[in-house]
Amino acid sequence: MPLPTLTLRPAPSSSPQFGKAAWSCGSLTPEAAWRGGLATVAARAAGGPQDLAKVMVAGEILQDPSAMPGATGPESPDTWLHRIRAAYAPGASVLFYARDLPRHDRALFEILLSAAGPVFADSGLSRRDVDVELFYGDYRATPGGIHREYCANSHFVLAGRKFMHFWSGDDWIPAGTERDHAGGPVGDSEEEYLPSLGVESVSAHGTALPAGPGELFEWGNGVWHVGETDAGPALAINLARYMSSFDPGESAFRLDAGPDGEVVPDWLAAYRAYRTDDLTADSALAAASAYGIPGAEPDRAIAGVPSPTRVTATTHAPLLWCRDGDELLVATHGRARRFPARNAPWLREFAALPVGAATTVPNGAEPLATWLAVHSALSAA
């Protein structure tokens, strides 16, 4: 598998609140995203929250569990779409939506953490967790119609083509338009919909941007928008960075780590205060090490990983650490653990290594190196 790295090339934007960019990442493929969606469907079927995944045909949610992708056995996106249309409504709008993908698919979680650095270097960390969503289907408008949320978004098109319609401010909304409110999926967040307002009636007041594979849409929290596919099905993955309001100018928080991953205690305290949830120092640094993306546990246990004596840096995912008295608080891939402060010289050396470089693990640092191996920050050389 190619090393998960992401390159971004910003495109001219029609507004500081929304726009497009070009992207490339050899590991973030339609197949990887689809596997994440199937893993989320499996988690829902095993008793997870029902809002993890849904199938919508002609704007209505299908309640039949067999309508979910993979419910009748392995199937590709196109095979699933053909099955749904044949069973329910040939030619109708069809959307499969899944959320919280990395919590149910460790492989996708690791791809995103290694690749997403350029997104968060530009956007900063959000006040709440980041939801990673999958959109696949052939639909005339995102179900619910024109809407806005508390999240800023990076919407990666992986297959097919899409249009995203954007509107700035509220002045364009006709007087008396119905507004529906709903709770958002992350923390105490909100969503607002304009269900009676057709895109055609207000398109002149907005901007429609097209995108295909290798392009992404970006927009701030509180920006009115609606998506549609263009001339066939499309697949996209969305990083929804949840904030605390509809204000697109709400400030994000800069990940201010040194080249060796060290953060100072004052930065960690300020990040804890910035978050809307009540995080401990350990959980805050853990969250920052995953850009706020909740992820699945590693698929290996410490007891099954021998203590490495020589290791290689194998990911671009953050490895963060902070001094706390005679301890080091170390975090990577959304998990944190404390180690003796005597590990600082080697940790500083390793964390500054470029990907692919190797170093020897000194005596006494084996527990730290083993923990980092379990959590995918390094591998035995």
Buried b (16+ CB within 10 A) or exposed e, 207-219: bebebebebbbbb
Count other C-beta atoms under 10 Å from residue 74's C-beta: 8
In tens, the pLDDT along 285-338 reads 999 999 999 999 998 877 777 788 999 999 999 999 999 999 999 999 999 999
Q: What are residue 350's phi and psi, to 5 degrees?
A: -65, -45
In tens, the pLDDT along 37-56 reads 999 999 999 999 999 999 99
The Cα 290–Cα 286 span in angstroms is 7
The letter for the amino acid at 253 is: F
> Beta partners for 321?
262, 330
Structure tokens at 268: 């960690």
3-state secondary structure 47-75: CCCHHHEEEEECCEECCCHHHCCCCCCCC
Predicted pLDDT of residue 4 = 82
Query: For all residues of the chain together, what is the average pLDDT?
Result: 94
Q: Tokens 């958002």 — which residue?
A: 184
The Cα 1–Cα 162 span in angstroms is 28
Task: Please check the confidence at residue 88 and state whether its pLDDT lies above 80.
Answer: yes
The Cα 291–Cα 245 span in angstroms is 19
The Cα 317–Cα 117 span in angstroms is 7
DSSP state at residue 377: S
Task: Please check the confidence at residue 1 and state whether its pLDDT lies above 50.
Answer: no
The Cα 186–Cα 164 span in angstroms is 23
Every domain of the chain and the residues it spans:
7-242, 265-380
Determine whether 73 is exposed, middle or buried from the number of CB atoms within 10 Å of its CB (0-12, 13-18, 19+): exposed
Which of the four pLDDT bands, split at 50, 70 and 90, describes residue 8? confident
Buried b (16+ CB within 10 A) or exposed e, 190-202: ebbbbeebebeeb
In tens, the pLDDT along 334-354 reads 999 999 999 999 999 999 999
**Can you name the CATH fold of 7-242?**
Jelly Rolls (2.60.120)
DSSP state at residue 325: T
Predicted pLDDT of residue 77 = 97
